[in-house]
Protein backbone atom coordinates (compact mmCIF):
# COMPACT_ATOMS: atom_id res chain seq x y z
CA UNK A 1 0.00 0.00 0.00
CA UNK A 2 2.73 2.45 0.99
CA UNK A 3 4.75 1.50 -2.08
CA UNK A 4 1.79 2.33 -4.32
CA UNK A 5 1.32 5.70 -2.63
CA UNK A 6 5.04 6.41 -3.00
CA UNK A 7 5.00 5.49 -6.70
CA UNK A 8 1.95 7.68 -7.34
CA UNK A 9 3.51 10.56 -5.41
CA UNK A 10 6.64 10.39 -7.55
CA UNK A 11 4.75 9.91 -10.82
CA UNK A 12 2.16 12.63 -10.26
CA UNK A 13 4.60 14.91 -8.39
CA UNK A 14 2.48 15.11 -5.22
CA UNK A 15 4.05 17.00 -2.35
CA UNK A 16 4.27 14.01 0.03
CA UNK A 17 7.35 14.21 2.22
CA UNK A 18 7.16 11.00 4.27
CA UNK A 19 5.35 7.67 4.55
CA UNK A 20 5.40 5.53 7.70
CA UNK A 21 4.01 1.99 7.99
CA UNK A 22 4.14 1.01 11.68
CA UNK A 23 3.96 -2.71 12.51
CA UNK A 24 1.77 -1.96 15.51
CA UNK A 25 -0.98 -0.27 13.46
CA UNK A 26 -2.07 -2.96 11.00
CA UNK A 27 -3.69 -1.53 7.89
CA UNK A 28 -2.64 2.08 8.51
CA UNK A 29 -0.17 4.22 6.59
CA UNK A 30 0.90 7.54 8.11
CA UNK A 31 1.44 10.15 5.39
CA UNK A 32 3.17 13.50 5.82
CA UNK A 33 2.04 16.18 3.38
CA UNK A 34 1.54 19.94 3.27
CA UNK A 35 -2.28 19.64 3.11
CA UNK A 36 -4.86 16.85 3.59
CA UNK A 37 -6.13 17.37 0.04
CA UNK A 38 -2.79 16.16 -1.32
CA UNK A 39 -3.17 12.87 0.55
CA UNK A 40 -6.76 12.45 -0.67
CA UNK A 41 -5.66 12.97 -4.29
CA UNK A 42 -2.78 10.52 -3.87
CA UNK A 43 -4.93 7.66 -2.55
CA UNK A 44 -7.56 7.99 -5.30
CA UNK A 45 -5.60 5.59 -7.49
CA UNK A 46 -4.69 3.15 -4.72
CA UNK A 47 -6.91 0.07 -4.49
CA UNK A 48 -8.19 -0.89 -1.01
CA UNK A 49 -7.43 2.58 0.39
CA UNK A 50 -10.69 3.36 2.13
CA UNK A 51 -10.42 6.74 3.78
CA UNK A 52 -8.22 9.45 5.23
CA UNK A 53 -8.19 10.31 8.91
CA UNK A 54 -7.37 13.99 8.80
CA UNK A 55 -5.30 15.56 11.51
CA UNK A 56 -1.86 16.63 12.54
CA UNK A 57 0.48 14.59 14.71
CA UNK A 58 3.43 15.81 16.68
CA UNK A 59 6.80 14.08 16.49
CA UNK A 60 6.28 12.79 20.03
CA UNK A 61 3.18 10.88 18.94
CA UNK A 62 5.00 8.93 16.21
CA UNK A 63 8.47 8.74 17.76
CA UNK A 64 7.86 5.34 19.37
CA UNK A 65 7.12 3.90 15.91
CA UNK A 66 10.59 4.97 14.74
CA UNK A 67 12.67 3.38 17.51
CA UNK A 68 13.38 -0.30 16.83
CA UNK A 69 12.48 -2.86 19.47
CA UNK A 70 15.47 -4.95 20.66
CA UNK A 71 15.50 -8.50 19.28
CA UNK A 72 15.83 -10.01 22.76
CA UNK A 73 12.60 -8.52 24.13
CA UNK A 74 10.35 -11.39 25.21
CA UNK A 75 13.20 -13.85 25.73
CA UNK A 76 13.67 -14.74 29.39
CA UNK A 77 16.21 -16.83 31.28
CA UNK A 78 15.11 -20.45 31.25
CA UNK A 79 13.16 -20.17 27.99
CA UNK A 80 13.52 -22.97 25.47
CA UNK A 81 14.63 -21.72 22.06
CA UNK A 82 15.55 -23.12 18.67
CA UNK A 83 18.60 -21.75 16.86
CA UNK A 84 17.51 -20.69 13.36
CA UNK A 85 20.88 -19.74 11.87
CA UNK A 86 24.57 -20.32 12.28
CA UNK A 87 26.50 -23.57 12.77
CA UNK A 88 23.99 -24.87 15.35
CA UNK A 89 20.92 -24.27 13.16
CA UNK A 90 18.01 -26.49 14.18
CA UNK A 91 19.39 -27.23 17.66
CA UNK A 92 17.27 -26.69 20.75
CA UNK A 93 18.70 -24.89 23.77
CA UNK A 94 17.84 -23.32 27.12
CA UNK A 95 18.52 -19.60 27.67
CA UNK A 96 21.02 -18.98 30.48
CA UNK A 97 21.57 -15.23 30.18
CA UNK A 98 20.07 -12.30 28.24
CA UNK A 99 22.11 -9.17 27.38
CA UNK A 100 19.64 -6.52 26.24
CA UNK A 101 22.36 -3.92 25.56
CA UNK A 102 24.23 -6.10 23.07
CA UNK A 103 21.05 -7.91 21.92
CA UNK A 104 22.70 -11.26 22.63
CA UNK A 105 21.65 -14.32 24.57
CA UNK A 106 23.72 -17.10 26.09
CA UNK A 107 22.30 -20.60 25.65
CA UNK A 108 23.20 -24.19 26.51
CA UNK A 109 22.42 -26.80 23.88
CA UNK A 110 20.30 -29.80 24.89
CA UNK A 111 22.08 -32.27 22.61
CA UNK A 112 25.63 -31.35 23.68
CA UNK A 113 27.65 -33.92 25.65
CA UNK A 114 29.19 -31.18 27.78
CA UNK A 115 27.07 -28.12 28.66
CA UNK A 116 29.02 -25.30 27.03
CA UNK A 117 27.49 -21.81 27.05
CA UNK A 118 27.15 -20.36 23.54
CA UNK A 119 26.44 -16.68 22.90
CA UNK A 120 24.26 -15.90 19.87
CA UNK A 121 22.42 -12.85 18.56
CA UNK A 122 18.84 -12.45 19.69
CA UNK A 123 17.44 -12.57 16.17
CA UNK A 124 19.10 -15.95 15.52
CA UNK A 125 16.69 -17.81 17.81
CA UNK A 126 12.99 -18.64 17.85
CA UNK A 127 11.29 -18.96 21.23
CA UNK A 128 9.54 -22.31 21.65
CA UNK A 129 8.60 -22.11 25.32
CA UNK A 130 8.72 -19.11 27.64
CA UNK A 131 9.21 -21.17 30.82
CA UNK A 132 11.35 -19.30 33.29
CA UNK A 133 13.81 -20.75 35.78
CA UNK A 134 12.17 -21.47 39.12
CA UNK A 135 14.43 -19.97 41.78
Domain ranges within the chain, ordered by starting residue: 2-66, 80-129
Q: Under CATH, what is the fold of the domain 2-66?
A: Alpha-Beta Plaits (3.30.70)
pLDDT at 131 over 80: no
Give the highest mean pLDDT range of 32-36, 55-59, 117-121, 128-132. 117-121
The answer to whether the pTM exceeds 0.85 is no
CB-based burial of residue 40 (10 Å sphere; 0-12 exposed, 13-18 middle, 19+ buried)?
middle
The half-sphere exposure of 125 on its side-chain side, counting CA atoms within 13 A, is 32
Nearest Cα neighbor of 28 from 60, 62, 59, 58 is: 62
Given a cut of 60, is residue 134 above it in pLDDT?
no
- Give the pLDDT band (50/70/90) at residue 135: very low
Task: Kindly indicate whether the domain formed by 80-129 is annotated with CATH number 2.30.30.30.
Answer: yes
pLDDT at 133 over 60: no
Average pLDDT over residues 92-120: 91
Q: How confident is the model at residue 12 (pLDDT cuts 50, 70, 90)?
A: confident
Mean pLDDT score across all residues of the chain: 84
Amino acid sequence: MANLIAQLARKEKYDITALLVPDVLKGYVLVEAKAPEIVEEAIQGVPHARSVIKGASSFGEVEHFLTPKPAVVGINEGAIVELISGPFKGEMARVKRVDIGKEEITVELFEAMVPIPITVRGDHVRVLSKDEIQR
